[in-house]
Structure formats: structure tokens, C-alpha cells
Structure 1
Amino acid sequence: MFEKSIKAYEKACEVIPGGVDSPVRAFKSVGGTPPFIKKGKGAYLYDIDGNKYLDFVQSWGPLIFGHCNKDIEKAVIKTAKKGLSFGAPTNLETKLAEEIVEMFDNIDKVRFVSSGTEATMSAIRLARGVTGKNDIIKFEGCYHGHSDSLLVQAGSGMATFGAPSSPGVPADLTKHTLLCEYNSVEQLEKCFEQSSDIACIIIEPIAGNMGLVPATNEFLKACRKLCDKHGALLIFDEVMSGFRASLKGASGILDVQADILTFGKVIGAGMPVGAFAASKEIMSHLSPEGKIYQAGTLSGNPVAMAAGLESLRKLKDNPEIYDELSKKAKRLVDGLKKVAYKNGIPLQVNTRGSMFGFFFCEKEPKNFKDVGLCDFKRFAIFHHEMLKKGFYFACSQYEAGFICTEITNKDIDACIKDADTVMKNLK
């Protein structure tokens, strides 16, 4: 069933570390060999062995309209025929920036980059430059890319300066990162007690990198209040939730506004792109207008801009899409929970717009430690058995899932039916 993928993986391991260009793709969390994908079409992926999968990953979020959407594909081909990259300004950058700025009350200007990691790294540098402070607060389980100051692990205290969580990251680069528990107001307050040099809080308002774990409204209000009180900036990392949780991302369903927003995924419709955005006052500090330096040769790549522009315009012209996606996401997780309960298996589920998550545990996780108490072995077995039946879920309990417009209720019902069969053997 996976013979060609196994051989392809073995060959890849000879020339690519671990055989993959991003660790999660290696299936280390669930075991086994990842299927090597040949193509995607609509709601489906097809691997080199000829297997077909209903795709609940959708390139980790950006493909709201599924694979090979004809409108986005047309925009990409048209733009690519004019050149793949110029290293010079194009009108496409301005048009996409205008579309984004128009949606939000708290941002006036956007700077495009080539990845979510770049976006969050640059947003933090901007916050430090604007405030003249050095420390940052991040939360266990929130992933903001692999830049050095963000690769930290928890210490032994309630709230502690992070130690490097990866070789190659000097302790000097993480000593300014304070780490505390997601959704804990008490620990957040302790961070500000420990340091008077905090430049910003960076947070996924809807965490998608410890499964789907939304921040509580109380917690986000505390983030806003403490930033205002201590002269720090609040950064919402919406690389995953932006234009996914709603047309305005998490910002569109919350009553808390951030000072800086970071985007990725959807604004490139599958192309490598990211962005960070803020008010005129904050963005005026950015080079070449201000003194805070940030640059990127491929930033604002015309093909990526064309893809993102087409995708965002389709979403703005058809806002009812979000209701449809939300209903489908809820249909899926409610169905999974029902068959799990039927088979005597504890399962916690959650959705935010077209994002969804499920955990094999008794209690709904509120933070990274809670997620760590889930039954990872059961998740791994479920993942593999569902893969065999043609359903491609995220290959880690720590990842969220996504619905695209091409996934039908019939597809979802078929998934739930097969999940029922699989769960009978998970007791």
C-alpha cells in the first residue's frame, strides 16, 4: 500500500536530514513512513502509490478553496508568465496590502515577508525597537517559528526565563524570553513582576500548535491590560488563524485588539508568504522609513501576491463561506465525539471557524501541559488506521486540522462512519 513511499523516504533520507524539510512531516509523532504526495485536487491528495486521501491538513491551513482551485491557479499562471521574481516593487504588493488593511481597524500598514517565522521574528524586533525594551513573553505550546529567541523550554519556576530547547541556540539569545503557561493570568502577572524590561507579549489567540486550544477571553483581556499598564506591545500571531477562524481571523471574533498582527498561510493561498502589520505610528519605525531594519529579497514575490490576492478577494466576495466551513468542521468533530462515546473512548473536540481539533482525553485541554496528558498512543493508532482508509489527518496530536470548501457533508459522514469502525479497536 505504501511501498513506493517507503522507498522514496529511504532515498530522501540519503540527501535530506530525516528525509523531510520540516520535522513534523516525518511522522515521528505517529510512527511509520509518510506518504509521498504526487498531486492534490479539490479536497483530495494522491500519493505516488496511487492512494487517495480526503485531506484535513490542506497544506497546514492555507488552502481554504482546496487544491488546484481554478481561479487561484489561473492567477498564478498569468503572473508567472510575466516573471517569477523581480526584487523590485509591484502593484500586486500594494493591492494585497490594501485588501488586508481594509479589514482591520487596528492596522494601517503591512510589510510582506516570505514565511510565518520571518513575520513573527520581525514583529518582535519591531516591538523591541519601538518600546526600547528587551524581554518578551511567550507561552508554552505556542509556536511562532524557529527563530532563536523563540526556541525555548520551560524552567522549574511558575514563570521563568526560558532555556534553549534546541542545540545551536545560545542561552544569551533566550535569556530575554519569559515563558509562562497558556491561559494562566496568574503566571502572566508574575512575568511582569519579574521584569520591568518587557517589550511585548506574543501569543496565538487561537493556538493551533498544541492541537486546537483557544485562549480564554479573560486571559486575552489580561494580556491587553498588562501590556497597556507596563508599556509593552501585544502581538497576535495569526499565521494559522488569520482568515481561517473568520474573515478577520481570531481578531474578528474577539473583543481584544492587538498592537501588531502577523499573518501567513492563507494570504499566500499555498505560496510561501507571511506578513506583519500595525498602526502607522508603529510601522513608521521600520526601515527605510525608520531605524528598525528588516529586509527580504523575495518579500512580496509577485506569484505569491497574485495567489493571495485572488484568494482573499474570493473570501471577501463570499463571506457565507465561513458559516459553511464552520458547520462542516462542527459536523466532523461532533460526529467523531459521538462515535468515540459510543465505543467508550474519551474524546475532547473544539472548532474555531474552519479550524478543528480533537484530543483523546477525559478533560478539555486548556494549555500545553493538559495536552501532554492526552493518549498519544491511541492518537497514533487512530491516525494510521484512518490513513489506511483514505483520510489524511495532521500527523501529530499537537497540530490542528482544517476544512476546505471542497470537502462535502458526504465526505465528512464517510469519515465518521470509518472512524466508528476504527474506534471499535481502540478500546
Structure 2
Amino acid sequence: MTDAGARAIEEPRLTTRRVKRRRIPRHVAVALPLALAGLFSLLVSGNALRPFEHITTIEAKMASKSDYFKDPEVQRLLLEHGIRVDIHRLGSRGIATTSLKDVDVVFPSGQPAAKLILDRQNRSVRSARPFVTPLVLGTFRDYAETLVSAGVAERQQSLNGGKTLYYDLDMRKFMRLLDGKDDRTTRKDGSGREADTWNGIGFQTVSHHRSNSGRLLVRTSSVCESNSAGTYLSILAFVANGDRTPGTEDTGNPNGADAAVHDLAQRIKPMINLQGMWADEQADSYFSDLGESIAPISLIYEHQYLAHQLAYRDKYGKQDTDRVLLYPKPYALTEPQLISLTDRGDRLIQLIADDEDLRERALELGFRIRFNGEDGTSERLNTYLRDRGIQVPTPNRDQTKVYEPDLDVLEEIINYVGNCPLPVQDVP
């Protein structure tokens, strides 16, 4: 019971503060202008619908010229056309002698491997040769200067009176140092006991507090796999054959011609230092911090060296004057050939042949690009190098060019020197 006079007590009421809520969260409001700017940029560039576009993946087997297709800018340009290239690396001759099943395009680094590939095709194929590049020997300054002192190499004119990056190499004289024989005409120590070692031709004198009693050798990729090694073999065979392409002599006796090629292969085999590596890996070793410790001289392509110098200039603001090139006399110019094996490959061939941006990027990567069906041009590359403070190589005064032997002759020499395994045939 309650008293009649007692007050009625009300239950307490809960009150809440009224909070004004923003319609758009703060972090969204901050990010919104950036998102709108990004969308506008995509719309302007034409990339807004890129995630919804169909991308064609092209399966490719490529040798050292895969450097071009691995370049991020080249990949971006190809994606603008809806193409992505899936690269399987292999030496040029390795590409030519292994199965090409399910492959859309191949990119051997030279004509001998390209001919082997083309001979295997049952369909009409499309191809392009977008650029050319000379075969060169990458070395280090003290070794190059040692060859100059030995009368085997000559300096090219330097940039603004500085240290030269390039030397011309007399292959006939150089091969006398590679043959493993005691050539007393190159003796520098007075004894003749080290005539074909670096110290024997004066390395200690040139490099002062360093020595190298190792034999003179050029580090190459495997001749069984690599176009660069096969081309270098062609240079050695051409010079050893009296500056004549092996197999072109008219002996009047086929058996006599075969014997001459076999004898030539025997003579040049000791001059090859077989490594069993791909050509691009050879360059990787040369440009590494331990490059000089790995090998005094390495077989590479000119475009690999020029690309290194351009990247070095961008990073350090100067040329890499420790690494230098030896240009062989006579010289060999390699012509990489992009070959289509399928309709998808045809699309890439057409693009490489027609797209000016892709050709311009090849020039920026150190290639001598082709124009209007010409064998190759250097002026645009030379201008590009000069504009970026890179010394331009001087054209060789000796215009003697090495031509590869007939394919059967070259294969015979390669197989003898490299003791190569039999090629793998495609399964029908």
C-alpha cells in the first residue's frame, strides 16, 4: 500500500547525445580527389578498360635477344596492343635443334640457327629482322692495354681526350696467342716459357701490382647451344682459312673438301673455351661485380655493352671506363630473326615490323635498328649515344666481313669442336 499523500515517483529517463554524422567518412573524403584524378588519367590515356581487354599470350623461345622482350618498356608497349610474350630462354642453336611444339615464335640471334628452324617448317612462315648487332669481346682496361703493348690491339679515339672504351683487335695476331703454342714473337719476359699467358705478354708491366699467369682464352657460351659462340667459331675458321669462308674452295674432290674442313676444325678447337652457358648469361657474368675475376675476356654482343653503358651513365653520371670492348678484325655482324610459327606469332611479327615506338625502344637498348629493308644503320644510334655522353664506336677501317660457312660445313665444325648431341625431332 502507499500513502495517499505520497508523491508519485517517475522512472528515470535515459538521454542520449545527438551526434552529427558526416555523410562521407573522413578517410574517404581525403582519398576521393586522388581516386578521381587517377580515373581521369586512365580515361585520358585510354587504359580505363584495360582490365577488361583480352590479352593474347604468345609462347616464345628466345636466345640472347630476349633482353629486348624482357625490357619493361617493351612489355608495356606490347600490352597496349593486347600482347604478352611468355619467354622460354635457350641458346640459338638449342632452339633450332629442340622441339618447337606449342611455340608461337622463336627468336634466334643469327642466321645459321634461323636457317635450321626455317628448314623444319611445313607452313609458310612470316619473319622479321628488326635490328643487327656486331659480335664483340668484352674485357677490362688493363687486359686491353696489355694487348696494345703486345701489338695485337689498337685504341680507338676516345671521347674528349679521356680513356677510350673501344679497341680494334687483329684476329690473326690474337689467334697466335690462343693456339696454345709457344710463339716467341710475342715473348715479353725474355724466357719464352710464358709466351701465351697474360704475364708472358706483359700484363704485370701494364697493371703494375697485379699478375695473371693464366693462359689467354676467350670465355664463350657452348657452341652447341649459342649463336654467339658459333659466330665466333666462324671468325676463327675464316681467319685460319686464309680469310676465306671454309668450304668454298674448289678442290675438285669432295672427299678432299671434307678433309680440309675437318683439319680446320682440329686447328681451331683449342682456341675455344667451352662454358655451356647461354649468351645472355655470359654477359651477366661479365657485367657483374666479379666479372674480371670470372674471365679476362668474354664473348658478348655490342648491344649488351651499350645498354650497360647507358644504364651506368643514368645511375652514376659517367661512363664505365673499367669495362671496354675489343672489336675483331675481320668483323662479324649478327642478324637476329624473329620467326612466326602460328597465327598468334604472325600478329607479333607484324607489330614488330610496323610499330615505330618498338623500333625506337630497340635503339635505346643499344641495337642498330634496320630501316626500309637496309642491312642496318648506325647514325641514329650514334646520335643517341652522343646525346647521352657515351663514346661512339669508330667504324672499322678494315671492312673485311666474315660470312658464315654453308650450313652443312658450319654444322660439321660446330659438332666437332663441341662434340654436340644429336638434335631432338618434333613428335608429329
TM-score, scaled relative to structure 1:
0.21
TM-score, scaled relative to structure 2:
0.21
**Considering only CA atoms, is the larger Rg found in Structure 1 or Structure 2?**
2
